[in-house]
């Protein structure tokens, strides 16, 4: 039987007298057989013995899943069942169905096929989903259902002009007084369109809909304010023409001229002395269309600020499914899914926004409408946020905060809460990507049953990735998803090594439910390697990973999936342990930097502290237990950290005052909040903030620093970290299952790392191997007041799962001593290699290439092999001397791109997915001549990059040729160890 890619002992070479791991045999490495029953999770914390047993073969519910792209409803029942079988055998636990028309040639396909694709949310479609749910249920797997087609939500005949999204737009005119103004003003129009996105057009609507859209247009206000106009230009944040200097308007000078505007747009006004800025505000339909939505109708995006619109939408995609899918709700169908919102607006708005604002914030917004607009791209996370177009001294940030809070409240209540409630009403879970929402994303994540991040958004920034997991911990959610392997400009470049590194980063960020992006349904009419929605001339992009059986690397992903499943089992079963709660601004936008700064966050992690983001909504509901911050969701934190911050609410400041008085350590880095964040009763509220902050300053156990280095020093003196690093800090996460403590650490570098660290835990340390399911004792070093020292060597790109189990009754299998030093090396292949390669070539056909190679070569540099994608078998012979002096023989393949299967003398030794490509062959060789076979498989990239006509726009590679290195490159040698 093939051994796992990672020899456990070479992946984490043990220092300090470790003992021998004798039981990692083929039996310990065997995976769950296809069709094996899943173990039912118990509501109580399982005993450590049960955890050990399940770690070897976790239930299927802990496996990664895929985003299963369907070409609309053009699918067949037999193929759906077959593809679920492929997923099951590939070590995947289920699929999220996304039925859409992305990347399909909708103009040239047969009319009957287009009709099938567009029969979304029909009885036929729901029957197909039922088939998938039934097949998944029968196998102990599950299906998630994207609550619609494409993104954002909308489409079909349900989203009529009355339920389509709206925005607030304005036109502007500078006027000088004193003067008599008689002018026909430019009124914002629904046909304006957005020059950046092209939305706002009425083309392609059904008969009568354009008029209905125009009827949704409403004059909101005509407002004049004394002050200066904004200055526009370009700056370093990007190529977009935007505000360089905001227009400064004078508070208290706003004049409401709405009643004076004539029906034809004419305004008569006696302009007072000074320079005035005159604005006309209208609420307009955006006419934004669903991206790649299948189904009838013009695909209008729904109004996410209207609960009525959601109910109309849910009736189409949810209620109508109940007769066909209801029996699988909660039993085969696990959850409904909401993708990242990706809804833009000039200014977010609703038909009743002014009334809701005054009810919630306590004052009229009309005089301040001109200062709401920020020239921002709508990102909810990042340090740079654009300037306001117009501002008012001292109050601008407060008014915008109140506006943003109202936007957040409305979209949360009228869309996300409605989505969650629909799921719960139908025995389903809600799975939600909150990023992209103009709202308190931590709250939206936390109120979902399964918060989900993605590694495309914010380019997979580590601090961003932690937001979903933070919300899960704070709000009490066990599962944290991630739309994964979605790299931009990297189509067809996904390798198992790249996936493993990304998975490890996600795991240390708190993710424990990876979702492949993605798994395309096999469309028979599309030639190999098949339809991929986000790659090709019909897909608007060059990103994502095509991970199905048409990818030559697919057969090797089951091995990687077993690794990920074991890590996810520990992470989902355990509760996260974070020493610190790190306050994060609760709203998406604000003038200036948007804290917390990732520099601060990284410094905290490097000092051995894990942290969770926490928002005001959560803090206001926290209390103290044993001098620790306790959230309603069950999280506990030793201290609270504030990044630089100008303002907070008075209730939050007073809550912090109570925490400080009760002994909670609170740390402030940089500027401390001295102002109220809202406008109403600003002076009174600011006095409350200052009074509370003064008390906090005088409390014992509060700390103030002017820079990050000082803050870290203060932390280290006052609060114990998760890990005390005495060597280079590694990214990590800590999980606790009852009394069992598990620490997952990763080495994301190309060089080996020596770990010298102390862990606060009971019991003896062990290494649990996610590749095999095996466990091994490791020697503990110094012990001091509950802290245990460990020395550990991690190979390049390796991870380590260190477990402390005080309930362990008998020692597990023990580990062999660390690898010995290299005595000498013996080259292999001097007589040449025979190569037989079978795979895809640029013509789109499968070819067989046979070669005698005197020397190993990078395929990308070989005229015949440069366009080859597939599997190639190399064979050669080598000699082993009769006397070896008991040294171990390590076969080192050198450079391999991308997967290597090694056979020595007919015995399968290992399948290696990532560096270092080495395996111990001591027990498989014989004195004299030996036969070596190495099968190497590469990505699809080279074949597709050279296809004519071009199949897609290739991204950058590491080579000047524009191709990816491929094959067995070497040098191949035997390392003879002392």
Q: Are residues 560 and 628 in the same domain?
A: no
Residue 949 neighbours by CB under 8 Å, 6+ apart? none
| CATH code where residue 439 lies | 3.20.20.80
The pLDDT of residue 458 is 61
Sheet of 731-737, strands arranged across: 575-576, 731-737, 740-746, 799-804, 765-768, 775-777
Residues 174 and 725: their CA atoms lie apart, in Å, by: 61
The pLDDT of residue 701 is 93
Report residue 759's pLDDT band, with 50, 70 and 90 as the boundaries: very high
Q: Are residues 247 and 390 in the same domain?
A: yes
Does 498 map to a domain? yes
Does 223 map to a domain? yes
Q: Are residues 838 and 709 in the same domain?
A: no
Could you report the per-residue pLDDT of 253-276, keeping only the tens digit for each? 999 999 999 999 999 999 999 999
Q: Which of 1-15, 81-95, 611-625 has the lowest mean pLDDT?
A: 1-15
Across residues 512-526, what is the average pLDDT? 96
Across residues 434-453, what is the average pLDDT? 96
The pLDDT of residue 106 is 86
The pLDDT of residue 342 is 87
Q: Are residues 658 and 757 in the same domain?
A: no
The pLDDT of residue 593 is 43
For the chain, what percent of residues have pLDDT higher than 90?
79
Across residues 717-743, what is the average pLDDT? 97
Could you report the per-residue pLDDT of 683-693, keeping only the tens digit for each? 999 999 999 99
Does 374 map to a domain? yes
Q: Is the pLDDT of residue 319 over 60?
A: yes
Residue 911 neighbours by CB under 8 Å, 6+ apart? 2, 3, 4, 5, 556, 559, 899, 900, 901, 902
Does 218 map to a domain? yes
Residue finishing a domain among 509, 543, 575: 575
> Among residues 286, 67, 257, which one has the least CA distance to residue 164?
286
Residues 873 and 853: their CA atoms lie apart, in Å, by: 12
Q: Are residues 31 and 132 in the same domain?
A: no
Q: Is the pLDDT of residue 279 over 70?
A: yes
Could you report the per-residue pLDDT of 555-614, keeping only the tens digit for each? 999 999 999 999 999 999 999 999 999 999 765 444 334 445 678 999 999 999 999 999
The pLDDT of residue 394 is 93
Using the 8-state DSSP alphabet, how is residue 538 labeled? T
The pLDDT of residue 18 is 30
Across residues 511-526, what is the average pLDDT? 96
**pTM (global) more than 0.85:** yes
Torsion of CA 773, 774, 778, 783, to 10 degrees: 40
The pLDDT of residue 461 is 79
Could you report the per-residue pLDDT of 673-726, keeping only the tens digit for each? 999 999 999 999 999 999 999 999 999 999 999 999 999 999 999 999 999 999
Q: Is the pLDDT of residue 287 over 60?
A: yes
Does 549 map to a domain? no
Q: How many separate domains does the chain show? A: 5
> Among residues 162, 203, 450, 431, which one has the least CA distance to residue 313?
162
The pLDDT of residue 451 is 99
Q: Is the pLDDT of residue 6 over 70?
A: no
Could you report the per-residue pLDDT of 7-48, keeping only the tens digit for each? 333 333 333 323 222 222 222 222 222 222 222 233 467 788
The pLDDT of residue 413 is 99
* Cα distances (Å, whole numbers) of residue 974 to 787, 822, 872, 971: 41, 10, 21, 10
Does 724 map to a domain? no
Could you report the per-residue pLDDT of 868-905, keeping only the tens digit for each? 999 999 999 999 987 666 689 999 999 999 999 999 99
The pLDDT of residue 387 is 83
Could you report the per-residue pLDDT of 169-192, keeping only the tens digit for each? 999 999 999 999 999 999 998 865
Q: Are residues 949 and 876 in the same domain?
A: yes
Q: Are residues 660 and 754 in the same domain?
A: no
Query: What is the DSSP track for 846-892?
Result: EEEEEEEESS---GGGSTTTTT-EEEEEEEEEEEE-S--TT--EEEE
Q: Are residues 90 and 170 in the same domain?
A: no
Q: Are residues 198 and 222 in the same domain?
A: yes
Q: Which of 20-34, 114-128, 785-799 has the lowest mean pLDDT?
A: 20-34
Could you report the per-residue pLDDT of 362-417, keeping only the tens digit for each? 999 999 999 999 876 444 444 444 689 999 999 999 999 999 999 999 999 999 99
The pLDDT of residue 543 is 83
Q: Which domain does 441 fall in, by range?
A: 60-155+328-340+407-533+555-575
Does 272 map to a domain? yes
Q: Are residues 226 and 371 in the same domain?
A: yes
Q: Are residues 236 and 287 in the same domain?
A: yes
Across residues 199-213, what is the average pLDDT? 82
**If you average pLDDT over every residue of the chain, what do you get?**
90
Does 544 map to a domain? no
Residues 502 and 219: their CA atoms lie apart, in Å, by: 50
Q: Are residues 834 and 797 in the same domain?
A: no
Angle between helices 417-425 and 307-317 (to 10 degrees): 40
Across residues 811-831, what is the average pLDDT? 77
| CATH code where residue 625 lies | 3.40.50
């Amino acid at each position: 039987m093939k051994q796992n890619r990672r020899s456990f002992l070479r992946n984490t070479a043990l220092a300090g007298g470790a003992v021998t791991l004798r039981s990692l045999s083929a039996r310990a490495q065997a995976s769950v057989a296809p069709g094996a029953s899943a173990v039912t999770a118990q509501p109580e914390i399982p005993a450590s013995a049960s955890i050990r047993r399940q770690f070897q073969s976790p239930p299927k519910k802990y496996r990664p899943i895929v985003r299963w792209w369907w070409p609309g409803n053009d699918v067949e029942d037999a193929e759906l069942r077959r593809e679920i079988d492929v997923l099951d055998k590939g070590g995947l636990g289920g699929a999220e169905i996304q039925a859409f028309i992305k990347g399909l040639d909708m103009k040239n396909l047969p009319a009957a096929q287009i009709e099938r694709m567009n029969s979304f949310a029909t009885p036929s479609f729901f029957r197909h989903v039922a088939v998938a749910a039934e097949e998944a249920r029968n196998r102990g797997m599950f299906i998630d259902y994207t609550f619609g087609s494409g993104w954002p939500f909308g489409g079909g005949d349900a989203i009529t002009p009355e339920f389509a999204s709206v925005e607030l737009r304005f036109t502007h005119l500078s006027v000088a007084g004193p003067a008599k103004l008689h002018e026909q003003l430019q009124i914002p129009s629904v046909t304006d369109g957005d020059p950046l996105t092209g939305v706002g057009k009425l083309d392609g609507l059904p008969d009568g809909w354009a008029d209905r859209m125009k009827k949704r247009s409403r004059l909101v206000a005509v407002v004049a304010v004394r002050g200066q106009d904004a200055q526009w230009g370009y700056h370093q944040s990007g190529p977009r023409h935007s505000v360089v200097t905001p227009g400064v308007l004078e508070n208290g000078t706003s004049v409401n001229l709405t009643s004076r505007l004539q029906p034809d747009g004419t305004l008569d006004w006696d302009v007072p002395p000074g320079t005035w800025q005159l604005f006309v505000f209208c609420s307009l339909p955006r006419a934004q269309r669903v991206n790649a939505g299948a189904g009838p109708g013009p695909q209008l995006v729904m109004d996410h600020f209207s609960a009525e619109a959601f109910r109309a939408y849910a009736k189409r995609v949810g209620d109508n499914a109940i007769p066909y899918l209801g029996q699988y709700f909660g039993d085969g169908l696990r959850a409904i899914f909401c993708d990242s919102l990706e809804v833009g607006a000039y200014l977010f708005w609703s038909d009743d926004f002014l009334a809701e604002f005054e009810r919630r914030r306590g004052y009229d917004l009309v005089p301040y409408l001109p200062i709401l607009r920020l020239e921002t791209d709508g990102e909810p996370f990042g340090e740079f946020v654009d300037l306001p177009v117009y501002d008012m001294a001292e109050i601008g940030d407060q008014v915008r905060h109140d506006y943003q809070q109202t936007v957040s409240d409305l979209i949360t209540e009228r869309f996300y809460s409605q989505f969650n409630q629909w799921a719960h009403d139908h025995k389903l879970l809600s799975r939600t990507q909150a990023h992209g929402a103009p709202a308190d994303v931590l709250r939206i994540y936390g109120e979902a049953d399964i918060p989900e991040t993605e590694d495309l958004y914010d380019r997979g920034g580590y601090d961003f990735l932690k937001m979903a997991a933070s919300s899960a911990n704070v709000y009490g959610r066990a599962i944290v998803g991630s739309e994964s392997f979605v790299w931009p400009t990297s189509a067809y470049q996904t390798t198992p090594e790249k996936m493993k590194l990304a998975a490890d980063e996600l795991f240390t960020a708190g993710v424990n439910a990876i979702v492949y992006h993605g798994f395309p349904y096999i469309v028979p009419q599309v030639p190999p390697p098949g339809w991929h929605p986000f790659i090709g001339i019909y897909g608007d992009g060059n990103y994502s990973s095509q991970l199905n059986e048409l990818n030559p690397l697919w057969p090797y992903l089951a091995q990687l999936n077993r690794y990920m499943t074991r890590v996810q089992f520990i992470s989902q079963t355990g509760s996260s342990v974070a020493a610190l709660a790190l306050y994060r601004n609760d709203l998406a936008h604000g003038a200036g930097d948007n804290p917390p700064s990732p520099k601060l966050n990284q410094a905290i992690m490097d000092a051995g502290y894990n942290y969770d983001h926490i928002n005001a909504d959560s803090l206001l509901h926290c209390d103290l237990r044993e001098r620790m911050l306790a959230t309603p969701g069950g999280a506990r934190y030793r201290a609270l950290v504030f990044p630089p911050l100008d303002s907070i609410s008075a209730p939050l400041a007073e809550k912090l005052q109570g925490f400080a008085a009760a002994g909670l350590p609170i740390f402030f880095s940089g500027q401390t909040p001295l102002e109220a964040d809202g406008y109403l009763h600003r002076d009174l509220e600011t006095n409350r903030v200052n009074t509370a902050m003064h008390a906090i300053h005088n409390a014992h156990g509060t700390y103030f620093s002017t820079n990050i280095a000082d803050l870290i020093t203060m932390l280290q003196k006052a609060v114990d970290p998760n890990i005390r690093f005495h060597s280079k800090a590694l990214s990590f996460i800590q999980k606790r299952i009852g009394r069992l403590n598990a620490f997952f650490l990763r080495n994301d570098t190309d060089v080996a790392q020596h770990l010298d660290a102390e862990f606060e835990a009971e019991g003896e340390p062990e290494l649990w191997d996610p590749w095999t399911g095996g466990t091994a004792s490791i020697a503990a070093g110094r012990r001091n007041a509950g802290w245990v020292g460990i020395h550990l060597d991690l190979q390049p790109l390796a991870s380590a799962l260190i477990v402390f189990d005080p309930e362990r009754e008998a020692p597990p299998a023990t580990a062999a001593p660390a690898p010995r030093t290299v005595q000498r090396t013996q080259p292999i292949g001097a007589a040449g290699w025979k190569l037989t390669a079978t795979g895809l070539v640029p013509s789109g056909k499968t070819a067989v290439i046979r070669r005698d190679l005197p020397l190993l070569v990078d395929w990308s540099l070989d005229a015949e092999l440069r366009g080859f994608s597939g599997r190639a078998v190399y064979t050669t012979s080598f000699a082993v001397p009769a006397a070896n002096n008991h040294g171990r023989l390590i076969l080192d393949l050198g450079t391999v791109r991308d997967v290597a299967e090694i056979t020595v003398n007919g015995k399968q030794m290992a399948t290696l997915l990532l560096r270092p490509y080495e395996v111990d062959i001591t027990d498989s060789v014989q004195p004299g001549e030996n036969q070596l076979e190495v099968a190497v498989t590469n990505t699809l990239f080279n074949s597709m990059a050279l296809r004519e006509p071009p199949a897609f726009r290739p991204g950058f590679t590491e080579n000047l040729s524009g191709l990816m290195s491929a094959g067995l490159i070497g040098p191949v040698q035997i390392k003879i160890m002392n």
